[in-house]
Amino acid sequence: MAVTDREVFDSDGYLVVRGLFSTEEIDQLCDRFAAVQAGGPIPGHFAPRAAALEEASVDPLHVYPRVMHPHRIDDLSLRVLLDARLRKILEKLLGEEVLAAQSMFYFKPPGARGQALHQDNFYLRVEPGTCVAAWIACDVIDRDNGGLEVVPGTHRMDLFCPEEADEQLSFVREYVPPPPGLTAVAVDMRPGDVLFFNGSLVHGSQPNRTAERFRRSFIGHYVGRSTERIGRYYDVLTMSGDPVPLLESDGAGPCGTEFEAMGAH
């Protein structure tokens, strides 16, 4: 009997769907965020601290920080977040109607630090249950340019209390070491591939150690219709774009507390 996507997701905590988005769609998305980066700061969404990578002392993430909640300010980002192909898969994985809660775009330029292992629902605080991420690759992604790593099995565990990350390797403070007996597994991807993963799954990335390759990605976070509470940083929409009011949960954060001295927010 063939193993279903839902069975893989339930067993491992993640699922890779290859080629869900076309090359043309990914190129359009990358072009849009190149324009965002060239346009400079957008209060509340995009906060570069330097204009160019010309000086060796410049932190690449000061030039190319992540873009937070672009769906609130950009129609293309909203369309990708609410894409019907994502909806179809997410509803199979969640077993119920899916709601969109957050979007982000990561540039991760050459030389950029990674994001230490962590759990997404530590920040979103979805109750009951958890969130699910849809992580869309916009470049060829592997270990060299800081591809994502996941720790299968941790999706069945509770949220961990993070330790402090190594500031030289991670732009955020929180670090969750793999539990005894479990190991981080690299997920290689190509443009248009989508990695779906459980909000309790421990995951993260190493620095981009290449000289020329970006590791761009667009990420959406989603919850099931049965969700009652979520953190105040997140607005929830149906996949038709209608707002869904939810109660506010305690202890939520904006997806990673960045190191103040070197952070990229």
Predicted TM-score (pTM) of the model is 0.93
Please report the domains of the chain, with CATH numbers, ordered by start residue.
5-36+57-247 (2.60.120.620)
Distance from C-alpha of 219 to C-alpha of 137, rounded to nearest angstrom: 9
Q: 135 - beta bridge partners?
A: 195, 219
Decide: helix, strand or coil at residue 9.
Answer: helix
Question: For 64-75, what is the mean pLDDT?
Answer: 97
Between CA 131 and CA 18 the distance in angstroms is 21
In whole angstroms, give the CA distance from residue 155 to residue 139. 26
Confidence check: pLDDT of 254 > 90: no
Give the pLDDT score at 185. 97
Confidence of residue 57 (pLDDT cuts 50, 70, 90): confident
Contact 191, 26 (CB under 8 A): yes
The rounded distance, in Å, linking the Cα atoms of 45 and 26 is 21
Residue 189 makes CB contacts below 8 A (sequence gap 6+) with 16, 137, 140, 141, 147, 148, 195
pLDDT of residue 250: 80
The mean per-residue pLDDT over the stretch 122-141 comes to 97
Q: What is the pLDDT of residues 220-247, one digit of tens each?
A: 999 999 999 999 999 999 999 999 999 9
Query: What pLDDT score was predicted for residue 52?
Result: 75
Token duo for residue 11? 């067993």
How are beta strands 229-230 and 247-248 bridged, if at all?
parallel
Task: Please give the Cα distance from 200 to 90 (Å, whole number).
Answer: 16
User: Rounded to an integer, what distance in angstroms lies between the CA atom of residue 191 and that of residue 213?
Assistant: 13
Q: Residue for token digits 């949220």? A: 159
| pLDDT of res. 265 | 28
Express each pLDDT in 183-217 by its tens digit. 999 999 999 999 999 999 999 999 999 999 999 99
Looking at residue 50, its pLDDT comes to 82
pLDDT at 1 over 50: no
| Whether the predicted pLDDT of 5 surpasses 90 | yes
Residue 255 pLDDT grade (very low, low, confident, very high; cuts 50, 70, 90): low
Compute how many other C-beta atoms are within 10 angstroms of the C-beta atom of residue 178.
14
